[in-house]
Chains A and B, each alone.
Chain A
Amino acid sequence: MSPPDSAYAVRGGPDTLWARGGPLLTTLDVELTERCDNRCVHCCINLPRQDRRARARELTTARLLAVLEEAAGLGALAVRFTGGEPLLRPDFAEIYVHARELGMRVVLFTNARGITEATASLLADIPPREPVEVTVYGMRRESYEAVTRAPGSYAQFRRGVDLLRAHAVPLVVKGTLLPETLAELDEFERWAAAISADGGQAGYVHYLDLRHRRDSPAADRRIATLRLTPEASLGVLAREGHLAAKLRADWLPQVAAPTDLLFTCGIGHRPCLDAYGVLQPCLSLRHPGATYDLAAGSLRDALGTVFPRLRSLRATGPDYLRRCARCFLAGVCEQCPAKSWAEHGTLDTPVDYLCEVTQAKARVIGWLAPGELPWEVVDWKERIA
């Protein structure tokens, strides 16, 4: 690489370019569809590929292009296309090229089943400038299709990955930790190291979300049974070694004084457009009181006026106030209003599973004694020092 700066120009990422505070929007997530050609046992959002009602409600090509233009006008230099399976949209190529012609980098989340010769050629000729992110559900047909419940999906996924590689399209692969895949982690990581653009570091989805739209109690019950226990999750993390030191290093910058503020994540800076034109303050949060119908307004209004109001919301749920609002581990816990909504239908109810995971990690570091509850710890500043 050449030196990064010259007398005339500087280089930087979309979040570091700005000398004067930056634009209102840097990255937009777009859920192109909730439909998917897989029927994954653990999925928090997918609808059947042939769901006509969902398809009829999806944004038109013209509307999607217009939203991308509005996002670009506000300063966005990156977009992430996700789903469902974004490649199910027949107009994917048009949407993708439009985003690139607006100067946006594109992150594409896909299961790779729909990667064709034409798609791979397009991604090679007009590169997304970010690695394509392929989610992997198993290293063998039996394990893969036990998760996807879609016959033939494994062969299509492998073909899609092969096409991306044949066209030298950078990609990274992500695994999901499920009972079917735990036995294949070593194999998966060796493969990821051989093909990934980021040096081979395999990423995982560790903690499964319940259905984001709260649309299937039966699916929620199934997903809950598939979640790794806190101990099993720690076992996966420990495979890399130095678990306590790594957790501590990751967590230290994030630990903050307990608060009853609901959103401590800077909510709304990275919004997500759902498949039907509703803007969410983030990828996961679909609580109707926290979203914004773009048909009735604008991205600017949502980002400049509506979403900032969320940042001052305070919890009122008694259990949350007793636990999370007094917990020194709240800043590192996976608990958030989106998870609370999916799990309980409120923004401020503790998610016990995530709480147990966080406590288990804190015990590994030595910040919690066995049986101790983090919201009862008074001397937390001394413990983390």
Chain B
Amino acid sequence: MSEALTGDGVYAPSDGVVAREIEGEVVIVPLKAGIGDLEDELYSLNETGRAVWRLLDGGRTLDGVVETLAAEYDAPRDEVERDVRGLLEELLRRGIARAVV
């Protein structure tokens, strides 16, 4: 899956999920049939996941997301990129996110 991710790719939440912030947690609930393997469970993002999710707005490139987070958290770019790609791969695999371009 990682080969499919490109730095100039743009990603967004899938139309088939609903994301809600409850008690400080982002909870993702599948809405339509055929979304990944989320048949039985809800999906809750940790702090890293929430930070990435917030920026998956269908407007920024993957590189843009990485740079924004690296600056925001004053963290090494390669470390942030690893986290962003890791989460994005998982979200795409489960059908929670989609590639816009």
> Using a CB–CB distance below 8 Å, which chain A residues touch chain B?
1-2, 4, 6-14, 17-23, 72, 75, 77, 100-105, 124-127, 129
> Using a CB–CB distance below 8 Å, which chain B residues touch chain A?
18-20, 22-25, 27, 29-33, 37-46, 48-49, 52, 83, 86-87, 90, 94
Taking A2-B37, A126-B33 as contacts, is the C-beta distance between A23 and B83 under 8 angstroms? no
Secondary structure dominating the interface of B: mixed
A18: chain B residues within 8 A (beta carbon): 23, 25
Taking A12-B41, A72-B20 as contacts, is the C-beta distance between A101 and B31 under 8 angstroms? yes
A100: chain B residues within 8 A (beta carbon): 18, 31
- Could you list 12 further interchain pairs (A-B, Cβ under 8 angstroms) beyond the known A20-B24, A103-B27, A126-B32? A6-B90, A7-B48, A9-B46, A11-B42, A17-B25, A17-B27, A22-B23, A77-B22, A101-B18, A102-B20, A103-B29, A127-B33
Q: Which of the residues A14, A103, A125 comes within 8 Å of B19, measured between beta carbons?
A: A103
The distance in angstroms between the C-alpha atoms of A211 and B44, with both chains bound, is: 41
A126: chain B residues within 8 A (beta carbon): 31-33
B50 and chain A: residue at smallest CB distance = A8
A102: chain B residues within 8 A (beta carbon): 18, 20
The distance in angstroms between the C-alpha atoms of A126 and B18, with both chains bound, is: 12
**Of listed A12, A17, A20, A104, residue having the most chain B CB within 10 A:** A17
* Closest-CB distance, A122 to chain B (whole angstroms): 11
A123 and chain B: residue at smallest CB distance = B33
Q: Which of the residues A11, A23, A75, A125 comes within 8 Å of B41, measured between beta carbons?
A: A11
A127: chain B residues within 8 A (beta carbon): 30, 32-33
B52: chain A residues within 8 A (beta carbon): 8
Are B46 and A23 in touch, CB under 8 angstroms? no
The distance in angstroms between the C-alpha atoms of A298 and B32, with both chains bound, is: 31
Taking A23-B23, A103-B27 as contacts, is the C-beta distance between A77 and B86 under 8 angstroms? no
Are B43 and A8 in touch, CB under 8 angstroms? no
Are A125 and B33 in touch, CB under 8 angstroms? yes
Are B19 and A9 in touch, CB under 8 angstroms? no
Are B29 and A105 in touch, CB under 8 angstroms? yes
A105: chain B residues within 8 A (beta carbon): 29
Are A9 and B31 in touch, CB under 8 angstroms? no
The distance in angstroms between the C-alpha atoms of A125 and B16, with both chains bound, is: 10
The distance in angstroms between the C-alpha atoms of A273 and B46, with both chains bound, is: 33
Q: Which of the residues A7, A77, A101, A124 comes within 8 Å of B42, measured between beta carbons?
A: A77
The distance in angstroms between the C-alpha atoms of A101 and B31, with both chains bound, is: 7
Q: Which of the residues B33, B39, B49 comes within 8 Å of A9, measured between beta carbons?
A: B49
* Closest-CB distance, B65 to chain A (whole angstroms): 14
A24 and chain B: residue at smallest CB distance = B23
Are A1 and B48 in touch, CB under 8 angstroms? no
B17 and chain A: residue at smallest CB distance = A103
Are B23 and A75 in touch, CB under 8 angstroms? yes
Q: Can you sample 7 A-B contacts with CB below 8 Å?
A: A6-B86, A7-B83, A8-B52, A17-B25, A77-B27, A102-B18, A126-B33
Are B23 and A124 in touch, CB under 8 angstroms? no
Are A11 and B27 in touch, CB under 8 angstroms? no
The distance in angstroms between the C-alpha atoms of A104 and B27, with both chains bound, is: 11
* Closest-CB distance, B100 to chain A (whole angstroms): 20
B46 and chain A: residue at smallest CB distance = A8
B39: chain A residues within 8 A (beta carbon): 129
* Closest-CB distance, B96 to chain A (whole angstroms): 9
Are B20 and A103 in touch, CB under 8 angstroms? yes
* Closest-CB distance, A191 to chain B (whole angstroms): 24
B45: chain A residues within 8 A (beta carbon): 8-9
A6: chain B residues within 8 A (beta carbon): 86-87, 90
Taking A100-B31, A105-B29 as contacts, is the C-beta distance between A14 and B24 under 8 angstroms? no
B19: chain A residues within 8 A (beta carbon): 103
B94: chain A residues within 8 A (beta carbon): 2
Q: Which of the residues B29, B33, B37 comes within 8 Å of A104, measured between beta carbons?
A: B29
* Closest-CB distance, A247 to chain B (whole angstroms): 29
Are B44 and A8 in touch, CB under 8 angstroms? no
**Of listed A4, A9, A72, A104, residue having the most chain B CB within 10 A:** A9
The distance in angstroms between the C-alpha atoms of A104 and B18, with both chains bound, is: 9
Taking A18-B23, A75-B22 as contacts, is the C-beta distance between A13 and B32 under 8 angstroms? no
The distance in angstroms between the C-alpha atoms of A231 and B22, with both chains bound, is: 48
A74 and chain B: residue at smallest CB distance = B22
Q: Which 6 A-B pairs have the closest CB atoms?
A: A103-B18, A8-B49, A11-B41, A103-B29, A8-B87, A75-B22
